[in-house]
Amino acid sequence: MSDHDIQQYPKDFLEHLLQQMLLIRRFEERCARAYGLRKIAGFCHLYIGQEAVAVGAIGNLDLNHDYVLTAYRDHGHALAVGMHPNAVMAELFAKDTGSSRAKGGSMHLFDAARNFLGGNGIVGAHLPVATGVALKIAYLQQSGVVLCFFGDGAIHQGSFHESLNLARIWNLPIVYICENNHYGMGTDFRRVSAQTNFASLAASYNMPGQQVDGMDVLAVHESVKQAVLHARNEKIPSLIEAQTYRYMGHSMSDPGTYRTRDELDQYRRQDPIVLFQEQLLNANVLTDDDFQTLDTRCKEGVEQAVQFAQQSDQPPLEALYDDVLA
């Protein structure tokens, strides 16, 4: 997106996008350190490199009415909907002050008050759930829209095809967003996909489909804005393929030996935060000092979250039986 295009946006909105991406980046970097120190256990999938997708997309929503569901790489989406870093970090540290009182962990972040319905640890399992939320909105004639995020690995699950088919048959207000970071665990998506243009799969279900540069936060924002308008006003679902890249391994236990250093360096030159920072500097929207101030604020907030998590108590043993419905 050109510098000229940036002028159409309010300055506070642009700074908000940058601040959210920086917060996610610094939060995830701190998670990597905490994992190495064994403060975080279990599976942990970081979002470093993909920040523009969640931030650009969710920036179109009114979370009083709209909903977000995603898969297990969910820290970025949780922060983008406004979950407090303290509650997220405490959940990762398995503390009683966590967003789900230590019962969800990294892959199952959840905040009903913000209409963020998870985090799901099973590949593609949340697509039917998100479609069901959209069905609820349509059945009750509400004004909301659902954003359903998933990775390229979920494309090959039956739940993806069943969900898109039902969404179009019933004309549900949902936008399916495939975050194609090129690798399903350690497998290049082109090795296992007969059709490598995932957006084109939308044609099979008679709905709009579009590829977008997932490293450009404003490109994502504009693409999702149009899809949200179609969903909200015309009840037409859409499929968006955001072409992005993760800089870390699939999870913290993955050394990423299946890709070359040259490939990683190539995509690091497309860092969504660096590119957006340069756009804002070139358009005189902010200065280097402004950027440093924002970055420092994010780092301090993340450190406060770590301190909060470390000082919080573990859940009491009897909490094991809380929230059990049967």
Q: What is the DSSP string of 57-80?
A: HHTT--TTT-EEE--S--HHHHHH
Q: Do the beta carbons of residue 79 and residue 24 sit within 8 Å?
A: yes
Contacts 24+ apart (CB under 8 A), 247-251: 247/48, 247/49, 248/28, 248/32, 248/46, 248/48, 248/49, 250/45, 250/183, 250/185, 250/186, 251/43, 251/44, 251/45, 251/46
267-295 pLDDT tens trace: 999 999 999 999 999 999 999 999 999 99
Closest C-alpha among 77, 66, 145, 151 to residue 108: 77
| Residue/partner pairs of 200-205 with CB below 8 Å, 24 or more apart | 201/155, 201/164, 201/239, 202/164, 202/238, 202/239, 204/161, 204/164, 205/164, 205/165, 205/167, 205/168, 205/237, 205/239
How far apart CA 76 and CA 5 sit, in angstroms, is: 26
- For residue 3, the model assigns a pLDDT of 54
Residue 325: the pLDDT is 84
CB 118 within 8 A of CB 108: yes
Instruction: Please enumerate in sequence order all residues whose Cβ is within 8 A of that of 324, keeping only pairs 6 or more positions apart, or say none.
Output: none
Residues of the chain with pLDDT under 50: none
Residues in the chain, total: 326
Burial letters 155-178, b for 16+ CB under 10 A, else e = bebebbbebbebbbeeebbbbbbb
Q: How far apart are CA 126 and CA 128, in angstroms?
A: 6
pTM of the model: 0.95
In the chain, what are the domains? Answer: 3-312 (3.40.50.970)
194: Cβ–Cβ under 8 A, 6 or more apart, which residues? Answer: none
Query: What number of other Cβ atoms are within 10 A of residue 112's Cβ?
Result: 8
198 touches 161 (CB < 8 A): no
CA dist list (Å): 196 to 141, 153, 192, 193, 211:
36, 12, 9, 6, 11
Helix/strand/coil for 46:
coil
